[in-house]
A and B are shown apart, each in its own frame.
Chain A
């Protein structure tokens, strides 16, 4: 019986009384971002230089895109472990298609279209696989995307023979990396545009709203007559398509198709989303949380790099931050109830 009492006692929210008010919670991550920036700036003034701030913004735009992709599926209580390998696969596929089209003497427009077509094609194929296996076959998202994680790694390294794929035309890099819109670098402009569209979609469309409903209560969503399976398939396709876009932007930056481009991106994107306040239990989060989380992770690693903190120590810090972030979020929820 003492065990029963123990677990009941644990549900008492008394220990959350010291926590600050709700409005302060909302402002906490932005405040933490500013404190972090100022703290690093105190150690090294270069942190706040315009060049580094632009660098941070540019770095963030990639991670934010991946965190948004991850957020979309996390909203429905899923997640995509295969995101990183999808990025690698798309990078290799895009580069190979463009190199092939260039070699067979097509003009620049055709070459670019071939690259984009191959990239998004591979991305959407991967998303379709995940979506069908998860929604129609009912496989747990962890296993399904762990499966496609392995498959995508295999495809990426086999297609590229494990080496970087050369032959990415200069115009491709110029458009998706070097280009700018009214002085804003392409990567930032694309991510902002996608963020705005995605936020509108999540907040204003039936599809977007139904993601929240499915995440909050899948059974209720089904009973309410939502085509849950179709929506889930679309969600995973959307996630992988966003990942493919990010992969294309990163390929433009490196100027070659990299079979290791995705590396630890799956987990970084999940970490970004989760630190920003997206709930793994589904139904809570959005573009804002993804961007804030990505910004936080990027500023942290940028600051630690500039202040010459050992890369291995950085891994430890990032791990601790992920746990603390989720813990704080849980305390906040407890207080609200």
Chain B
């Protein structure tokens, strides 16, 4: 087994040389330019409230995008993440409300049961996705399209579309809206997720195998990688991380809502992954750049709001930037292959 590992040293599978270096340079440069430009134009931008707001929103997106990136690197797609955010939110809130009625005052038990139920939903959806894709060999796009509809339906069914209240104060004020060393708790969780995923991508068999599967499935099979287990793993991680984001959102807002996440979160997570250099052909991409790209997208949205650009026009910017980022990447790849 170890021979396989040494046969594929990290650098070669991540991508070849210059364009990756160029892109790592490009995205932070854009980010710095955006931040500098906005700071010059509008002093509100670097106000502490706005910065905290940006960091919190970027954390939610980064957590979801990390999972999405893993699935895409393995050569798949997860359209269901937005719906999982919503389902985890309402299930967490419902469970906490029920537990609070059953065991009044026992905050630890209430919170633990709620969080477990929320993450459990993510686990379940991820297992269904992974099972259908890996065992039944149905295209990931179609499977997650189906589970997206089904998951969103269940979320709405449970709540009839009405926000769910009744979570303990300790969960909302003590966790969701709390700040540690001046930063929201969500930021620390997002950082932890990013660091763990970075480590997993570089140093664990799972991470290396995900690259191998996305890069060349046949080669991975021949090398003895158990494809099915690792593909299920990526879908489960993606859904569980989406559920985590849903729980964090619930804790911050103070109610479980079936309208959280949705198509917008799903599209944004894919956009963040793609702009962050994850190739839809599979086998290429790193979560730290995806996280930067999530920050970039969040700041961009914030900047457009501060500049009073009509919120209806904002999707146009997102669309153009996405297509441009991928087109540039494709063009640079072509130029290199021609040389």
CA distance A143 to B267 in the complex (A): 10
CA distance A146 to B222 in the complex (A): 35
CA distance A84 to B148 in the complex (A): 17
Interfacial chain A residues near B25, Cβ < 8 Å = none
Residue of A nearest to B319 (CB): A150
- A59-67, A216-224, A239-247, A308-316: which lies at the interface: A308-316
> Inter-chain contact count A-B, CB under 8 Å?
145
Q: Does A320 contact B (CB under 8 A)?
A: yes
- A137 contacts B330, C-beta separation under 8 Å: yes
- B267 contacts A316, C-beta separation under 8 Å: no
- A320 contacts B150, C-beta separation under 8 Å: yes
- B44-52, B101-109, B187-195, B306-314: which lies at the interface: B306-314
- The listed residue (A3, A138, A153, A281) touching B330 by CB distance below 8 A is A138
- A274 contacts B142, C-beta separation under 8 Å: yes
- The listed residue (B135, B157, B312, B317) touching A162 by CB distance below 8 A is B312
Interfacial chain B residues near A280, Cβ < 8 Å = 139, 141-142
Q: Does B18 contact A (CB under 8 A)?
A: no
Tell me the A286-304 residues at the B interface (CB within 8 Å).
none
Residue of A nearest to B263 (CB): A264
Given contacts A267-B145, A312-B153, whether A6 and B226 have CB atoms under 8 Å apart is yes
Number of chain B interface residues as a range = 35 or more
- A4 contacts B149, C-beta separation under 8 Å: no
Bitwise, A305-337 to B at CB < 8 A (1) or not (0) is 000001011111011111100110010000000
Given contacts A280-B139, A316-B157, whether A3 and B319 have CB atoms under 8 Å apart is no
- A7 contacts B143, C-beta separation under 8 Å: no
- The listed residue (B160, B222, B224, B228) touching A10 by CB distance below 8 A is B228
CA distance A271 to B149 in the complex (A): 11
Minimum distance in angstroms from A117 CB to a CB of chain B: 23
CA distance A150 to B304 in the complex (A): 15
Tell me the B145-184 residues at the A interface (CB within 8 Å).
145-154, 156-157, 160
- B149 contacts A154, C-beta separation under 8 Å: no
Given contacts A142-B77, A143-B322, A270-B145, whether A158 and B153 have CB atoms under 8 Å apart is no
- A151 contacts B331, C-beta separation under 8 Å: no
Tell me the B289-329 residues at the A interface (CB within 8 Å).
310, 312-320, 322-323, 326-327
- B149 contacts A150, C-beta separation under 8 Å: no
Q: Does B136 contact A (CB under 8 A)?
A: yes
Minimum distance in angstroms from A165 CB to a CB of chain B: 14
Residue of B nearest to A321 (CB): B146
CA distance A99 to B266 in the complex (A): 36
- A154 contacts B314, C-beta separation under 8 Å: yes
- The listed residue (A157, A315, A326) touching B149 by CB distance below 8 A is A315
Q: Does B271 contact A (CB under 8 A)?
A: yes
CA distance A241 to B160 in the complex (A): 38
Interfacial chain A residues near B203, Cβ < 8 Å = none
Given contacts A1-B224, A319-B147, whether A139 and B316 have CB atoms under 8 Å apart is no
Q: Does B336 contact A (CB under 8 A)?
A: no
- The listed residue (B142, B153, B222) touching A313 by CB distance below 8 A is B153
Interfacial chain A residues near B334, Cβ < 8 Å = 138
Interfacial chain A residues near B151, Cβ < 8 Å = 319
Bitwise, B214-243 to A at CB < 8 A (1) or not (0) is 000000011011111100000000000000
Main SS class of interface, A? helix
Given contacts A158-B310, A313-B157, A327-B138, whether A143 and B280 have CB atoms under 8 Å apart is yes
- B323 contacts A144, C-beta separation under 8 Å: yes
Minimum distance in angstroms from A9 CB to a CB of chain B: 11
- A316 contacts B314, C-beta separation under 8 Å: no
CA distance A7 to B77 in the complex (A): 21
CA distance A158 to B313 in the complex (A): 6
- A316 contacts B154, C-beta separation under 8 Å: yes
Interfacial chain B residues near A133, Cβ < 8 Å = 323, 327
- B323 contacts A323, C-beta separation under 8 Å: no
Given contacts A142-B77, A154-B316, whether A322 and B228 have CB atoms under 8 Å apart is no
- B318 contacts A312, C-beta separation under 8 Å: no
Interfacial chain A residues near B224, Cβ < 8 Å = 1, 3-4
Interfacial chain B residues near A318, Cβ < 8 Å = 149-150
Q: Does B270 contact A (CB under 8 A)?
A: yes
- The listed residue (A4, A148, A155, A323) touching B221 by CB distance below 8 A is A4
CA distance A154 to B226 in the complex (A): 44
CA distance A66 to B217 in the complex (A): 34
Interfacial chain B residues near A274, Cβ < 8 Å = 142
Interfacial chain A residues near B141, Cβ < 8 Å = 142, 280
- A330 contacts B138, C-beta separation under 8 Å: yes
Can you spell out 21 A-B residue pairs with CB atoms less than 8 angstroms apart? Answer: A3-B224, A4-B221, A7-B228, A133-B323, A137-B330, A138-B334, A142-B270, A146-B270, A146-B322, A147-B320, A150-B267, A150-B318, A150-B319, A154-B313, A312-B153, A312-B154, A312-B156, A313-B157, A319-B148, A330-B136, A330-B138
Interface residues of B (CB under 8 A from A): 77, 132, 135-139, 141-143, 145-154, 156-157, 160, 221-222, 224-229, 267, 270-271, 274, 280-281, 310, 312-320, 322-323, 326-327, 330-331, 334
Extra pairs beyond A154-B312, A315-B153 (14, CB < 8 Å): A3-B225, A139-B330, A140-B280, A144-B323, A147-B322, A150-B322, A274-B142, A312-B153, A315-B149, A318-B149, A321-B146, A322-B142, A323-B132, A330-B137
